[in-house]
């Protein structure tokens, strides 16, 4: 038996799902590369949050539509704004949207999915399934437009619309897992000693779906960033500030005039982050798959 086989054999004996998942993840080169790139983007976002970089994204100058230089690394747009500062500031916006939508939609999906799964076959399950069906049947961008109109151009209309629709995917996955878990011995034991149902659901069952919630949150994070770019491009996203979607929208005029810096910078920053997070998410999904880590 070689050294790697011995390590795997040792890892499989008496270790938790998280220990096994970590072992698989740290041996996944593509997953680690994706996580490293995401970490770099997160550090950039933190630097913007704390005001170290990107604060001059709205400043204009006499340098109109200039190419890359030592002063303006990615050049300037048609009104003299520094493209590098704008694309860096947009990284913070992307993380803000991704984190807010991922956290709240995952929490909502977890709660409603757990209730639906525990009370499967009852009116509670029927109502939640009906609600998910209704939301899934509405075209996403039409729903966002309706929410934005109803909230009178509220800057959080986009976030609310995403959370209101993205939770359904998490809820469906959690519902199936809870249906499986509620028949386990530890749940039966809790019932036998008189533990109230709400405590059984959220104290005993839901924590056992944390590995699924983590994967779902990473998936929603990427989906939220891509949706924000599309919505901002269409004029239904970020209102006060700048984002990659707004930069791509602005670049349509630049391209017609033969200037591509704005488009290339915003597209490449978005592309690299989305690809890296997809790599990280796929690695997490493989590592936390119960069929592979059990």
> pLDDT: is 253 or 222 the higher one?
222
Q: What is the end-to-end Cα distance of the chain in Å, rounded?
A: 22
- Lowest model confidence (mean pLDDT) among 137-141, 233-237, 242-246: 233-237
Q: How confident is the model at residue 124 (pLDDT cuts 50, 70, 90)?
A: very high
Task: Kindly indicate the confidence band of residue 10, based on its pLDDT and cuts at 50, 70 and 90.
Answer: very low
How much of the chain exceeds pLDDT 70, in percent? 89
Taking the C-alpha atoms of residue 97 and residue 213, their distance in angstroms, rounded to an integer, is: 18
290, pLDDT greater than 70 = no
- Helix crossing, 17-26 with 3-12: angle to 10°? 150
Q: Give the model's pLDDT for residue 269.
A: 92
The phi-psi region of residue 225 (left if phi > 0; otherwise alpha if psi is between -120 and 50; otherwise beta) is alpha
List Cβ neighbours of 123 (8 Å cut-off, separation of 6 or more): none
Look at residue 3 and tell me whether its pLDDT is greater than 60: no
pLDDT digits (tens, 9 = 90+) for 126-183: 999 999 999 989 888 788 778 877 876 677 888 888 999 899 999 999 999 999 988 8
pLDDT of residue 8: 40
**How does 142-151 read in b/e, with b if 16+ C-beta sit within 10 Å?**
eebbebbeee
Instruction: Please give the average per-residue pLDDT across 34-55, as a whole number.
Output: 91
Share of the chain above pLDDT 90, in %: 32
Neighbouring residues of 55: CB distance < 8 A, sequence distance ≥ 6? 48, 85, 89
Residue 14: is its pLDDT beyond 60? no
Residue 4 has a pLDDT of 44
For residue 284, pLDDT over 50 is answered with: yes
Checking if the pLDDT of 6 tops 60, the result is no
Tell me what the pLDDT averaged over the chain comes to.
83
Q: What is the reported pLDDT for 289?
A: 64
Radius of gyration of the chain (CA): 23
pLDDT at 31 over 70: yes
- pLDDT of residue 1 exceeding 50: no
pLDDT at 105 over 90: yes
In the DSSP assignment, the letter for residue 204 is: I
Q: How high is the pLDDT of residue 294?
A: 47
Neighbours of 190 (CB within 10 A): 18
């Amino acid at each position: 038996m070689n050294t790697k086989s011995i390590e795997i054999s040792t890892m499989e004996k008496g270790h938790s799902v998280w220990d096994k998942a970590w072992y698989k993840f740290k041996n996944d080169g593509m997953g680690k590369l994706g996580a490293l790139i995401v970490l770099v983007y997160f550090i950039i976002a933190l630097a913007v949050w704390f005001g170290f970089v990107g604060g001059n994204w709205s400043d204009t100058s006499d340098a109109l539509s200039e190419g890359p230089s030592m002063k303006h690394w990615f050049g300037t747009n048609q009104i003299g704004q520094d493209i590098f500062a704008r694309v860096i500031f947009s990284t913070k916006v992307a993380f803000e949207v991704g984190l807010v939508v991922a956290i709240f939609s995952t929490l909502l999906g977890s709660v409603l999915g757990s209730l639906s799964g525990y009370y499967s076959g009852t009116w509670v399950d029927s109502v939640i399934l009906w609600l998910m069906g209704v939301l899934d049947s509405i075209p996403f961008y039409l729903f966002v437009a309706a929410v934005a109109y109803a909230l009178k151009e509220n800057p959080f209309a986009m976030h609310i619309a995403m959370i209101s629709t993205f939770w359904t995917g998490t809820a469906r996955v959690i519902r199936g897992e809870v249906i499986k878990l509620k028949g386990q011995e530890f749940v039966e034991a809790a019932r036998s000693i008189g533990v109230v149902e709400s405590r059984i659901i959220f104290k005993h069952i839901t924590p056992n779906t944390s590995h699924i919630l983590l994967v779902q949150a990473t998936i929603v994070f990427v989906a939220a960033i891509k949706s924000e770019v599309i919505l901002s491009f269409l004029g239904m996203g970020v209102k006060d500030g700048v984002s990659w979607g707004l930069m791509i929208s602005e670049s349509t005029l630049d391209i017609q005039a033969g200037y591509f810096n704005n488009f290339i910078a915003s597209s490449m920053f978005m592309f690299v982050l989305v690809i890296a997070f997809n790599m990280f998410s796929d690695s997490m999904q493989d590592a936390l798959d119960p069929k592979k880590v059990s």
